[in-house]
Amino acid sequence: MPDYLNKFNDRFYRYQDDYNSLAKVCERIQTSENIEKAAWSLYDPIIHDLICVADKRCSQKDCDLFEEGSNISDDMIVIFDCGHTENILRPITRGELIPRLDEFAQNGCPLVFNCLTYLNIPFGYICFHFNEYDVTDYTEIPQTASAVSMGLGGFVTRQYQRYLQDRIEQMYRFDSLTGLLNRLSFYKEFDEIKPRLIKEKTPVNIVFADLDGLKKINDTYGHDAGDTAIAAVAKALKDSVPAESLCVRFGGDEMLSIIFGEYDHDKLRSTFDKALKDFNRISKQNFTVSASVGIYKTVPTDELRLEDIIRTADKQMYRQKMQKKKNM
């Protein structure tokens, strides 16, 4: 077979192999967990002699970079710089253009720029700097730019979708005022943990906290003040229990926490009271926030109903509330 046909076949099959390799790079970028891994996904033999610079917002999970009317920012980051990993995610301005620009200007290397676009919205650019002339390298510029654009654009879109999903989950699981679990999520999480607690015979401590005098606060200072007081009790409770505890806004002004394992009840009460005193000292509110607390400890069994132990803790809380009223 003549040499020119062999060269033609070599180039043809190389083109097909390169196409498949670029498709894999694109997929790795799109499925990356964060911008760092997306950037490192570009370090593949098929990606060479180029620098990739993108809008800094690509690294922000809460940014809808491709919303209608979006414009490219002057604040950019280096996603890829062939042979210079120290530049990964380096901040750069559009005026700076690319890292090492002076170096390329001195050696006379031709620079070929292509725009990064996704959904017809530009969000960065690629600079190719081939040191040797190989027609195949130049003919693959559009293909390489397209693969990187699709990869990064898909990554940014997926990242924003995950952010929205997390927000929706937060709205579903947590009470918006207090940041504590809502009742539905609380019951679900406890049911998931309960089999392990029964198997390991782990004690549980039920802490029931109820804001004192909510009606008086609402009637005197307004419902915004009441919300402030509810949030203060919720924070005091959450700050007073171990991080792995389940905390829930059980009712309007009722907060509940389940602590797993042995725990000092007196220490908990002291910490909780101090948290509310600290709030009252620095809040500059016209009212004082206080709460009554009931605590009950038990070991879960198959027959034990969560509602029963909550009711017991509630009764103990009510006794403390009555005692406070007697002492007034």
Q: What does the pLDDT average to over 102-130?
A: 89
Instruction: Read off the pLDDT of residues 177-187 as tens digits, 9 standing for 90 and up.
Output: 999 999 989 99
DSSP symbols for 256-310:
EEEEES---HHHHHHHHHHHHHHHHHHH--SS---EEEEEEEE---TT--HHHHH
In the predicted structure, residue 285 carries a pLDDT above the cut 90: no
Same domain (yes/no): 143, 198: no
Residue 67: DSSP 8-state: S
When pLDDT is cut at 50, 70 and 90, the band that residue 269 belongs to is: very high
pLDDT cut 90: percent of the chain above it: 59
Q: Which one has a higher pLDDT value, 240 or 309? A: 240
When pLDDT is cut at 50, 70 and 90, the band that residue 117 belongs to is: very high
Which pairs with CB-CB distance under 8 Å and at least 24 residues apart come from 58-62? 58/123, 58/124, 58/152, 58/155, 58/156, 59/35, 59/89, 61/159, 61/160, 61/162, 61/163, 62/160, 62/163
Structural domain includes residue 219: yes
Same domain (yes/no): 137, 251: no
**Which region among 51-55, 70-74, 266-270 has the lowest average model confidence (pLDDT)?**
70-74
Q: Partners of 14 in the beta sheet?
A: none
**Considering only CA atoms, which of 178, 228, 106 is closest in space to residue 186?**
178
Domain span holding position 289: 183-327
Structural domain includes residue 177: no
Q: What does the pLDDT average to over 1-17?
A: 52
Instruction: Read off the pLDDT of residues 213-239 as tens digits, 9 standing for 90 and up.
Output: 999 999 999 999 999 999 999 999 999
pLDDT cut 70: percent of the chain above it: 92
Q: What does the pLDDT average to over 229-252?
A: 94
Strands 291-298 and 204-211: antiparallel
CA distances from 127 to 9, 111, 115 (A): 29, 6, 9
Residue 93: DSSP 8-state: E
Query: Residue 162: how many CB atoms within 10 A of its CB?
Result: 12
In the predicted structure, residue 14 carries a pLDDT above the cut 50: yes
CATH of the domain at 226: 3.30.70.270
**Amino acid residing at 35:** I
Structural domain includes residue 174: no
- Predicted local confidence at residue 5, as pLDDT: 42
In the predicted structure, residue 3 carries a pLDDT above the cut 70: no
In the predicted structure, residue 69 carries a pLDDT above the cut 80: no
**Mean confidence (pLDDT) of the chain:** 88
CATH of the domain at 123: 3.30.450
Instruction: Identify the domain boundary among 146, 169, 192.
Output: 169
Structural domain includes residue 299: yes
Same domain (yes/no): 211, 255: yes
Same domain (yes/no): 120, 245: no
**Which region among 81-95, 110-124, 129-143 has the lowest average model confidence (pLDDT)?**
129-143
Same domain (yes/no): 165, 189: no
Instruction: Identify the domain boundary among 113, 134, 169.
Output: 169
Q: What does the pLDDT average to over 172-179?
A: 90
Structural domain includes residue 199: yes
> Cβ-count burial of 22 within 10 angstroms (0-12 exposed, 13-18 middle, 19+ buried)?
buried
Phi, psi (5° rounding) for residue 79? Answer: -85, -40
Cβ(49)–Cβ(137) under 8 Å? yes
When pLDDT is cut at 50, 70 and 90, the band that residue 8 belongs to is: very low
- Predicted local confidence at residue 320, as pLDDT: 84
In the predicted structure, residue 158 carries a pLDDT above the cut 80: yes
Angle between helices 265-283 and 223-240 (to 10 degrees): 140
Residues 39 and 18: their CA atoms lie apart, in Å, by: 19
Structural domain includes residue 92: yes
Same domain (yes/no): 123, 246: no
Same domain (yes/no): 227, 124: no
- Predicted local confidence at residue 138, as pLDDT: 76
Q: What does the pLDDT average to over 161-189?
A: 89
If one counts the domains in the chain, the total is: 2
In the predicted structure, residue 163 carries a pLDDT above the cut 60: yes
In the predicted structure, residue 149 carries a pLDDT above the cut 90: yes
Same domain (yes/no): 164, 189: no
- Predicted local confidence at residue 128, as pLDDT: 93
Q: What does the pLDDT average to over 128-146?
A: 81
Instruction: Identify the domain boundary among 137, 169, 201.
Output: 169
Enter the tokens of residue 29: 């970028």
Q: What does the pLDDT average to over 320-324?
A: 79
Residues 259 and 204: their CA atoms lie apart, in Å, by: 6
Phi, psi (5° rounding) for residue 228? Answer: -60, -40
- Predicted local confidence at residue 134, as pLDDT: 67
Same domain (yes/no): 81, 122: yes
Q: What does the pLDDT average to over 205-215?
A: 92
Structural domain includes residue 178: no
Same domain (yes/no): 162, 237: no
Instruction: Read off the pLDDT of residues 71-115 as tens digits, 9 standing for 90 and up.
Output: 888 899 999 999 898 999 999 998 899 998 888 888 878 899 999
Q: What does the pLDDT average to over 200-223?
A: 92
Structural domain includes residue 33: yes
Same domain (yes/no): 113, 207: no
Same domain (yes/no): 303, 242: yes
